[in-house]
Amino acid sequence: MNEESVFQAHRFLLFSIAYRMLGSTMDAEDCVQETFLRWHRACESGEAEGIQSPRSYLCTVITRLCIDFLRSARVQREAYVGVWLPEPLVTTYQSNSPTDPEASVEQSESLSLAFLRLLEYLSPLERAVFLLRQVFDFEYDEIATFVQKSADNCRQIMRRARQHLAEHHHHYNVPPQQREQLTYQFIQACTDGNMQG
């Protein structure tokens, strides 16, 4: 496989990680592009020949880029007036995996605005560990490589992340029937042009 086909084979996974960590398609795409540039440089310099798992290398790069971005974004958001909301994902990337109804439900839940907003309560490192383990099902040993921590440390980070999310989860826990009703009312109001009601 050439360098681009190796990268393209993992592009969906990389974008998925970046979008869930950052909550913005544009920022996620920027990180995916930077990951490609770093992969290309590694291939050009011969460094890639020593890489045993391109997938692990690419996931490490995207995770670190997202953590760095979140650390700088957090500082910028502190000056932002109002509540920051993640950007909805309008376009969909095609997964290489077969369609699995259970995985599809889990994926849609992990893409919900409430879930992405809830992740704001986590530090960049907690968010990375939580998403890589909970959503992408990476083993702690792999996550440890991505975030440059020990596997035991990653388990502790995951425990803290779950505690933080549990403390704030009730704010975003809307029963499915109520969510469906609110969605219907919103769509109806938009269709009718009745923005008051």
Three-class secondary structure assignment of 141-155: HHHHHHHCCCHHHHH
In-domain check, residue 96: no
Residue with tokens 């879930």: 115
How many other CB atoms are there within 10 angstroms of residue 193's CB atom? 7
Tell me the CATH number at 187: 1.20.140.160
C-alpha radius of gyration, the chain, whole number: 19
Please give the tally of structural domains in the chain. Answer: 1
In contact, 60 and 18? CB cutoff 8 Å: no
In-domain check, residue 63: yes
In-domain check, residue 17: yes
The predicted pLDDT at position 117 comes to 73
Residue 4 parent element (H or E): helix 3-22
pLDDT tens by residue, 63-90: 999 999 998 866 565 555 555 555 555 5
In-domain check, residue 150: yes
In-domain check, residue 151: yes
pLDDT tens by residue, 133-162: 988 899 999 999 999 999 999 999 999 999
In-domain check, residue 197: no
pTM for the model = 0.69
C-alpha–C-alpha distance, residues 80 and 84, integer Å: 8
Residue 169 parent element (H or E): none
| Residue 53 tokens, joined | 């798992």
In-domain check, residue 97: no
In-domain check, residue 67: yes
User: Which structural domain range is residue 163 located in?
Assistant: 3-91+102-192
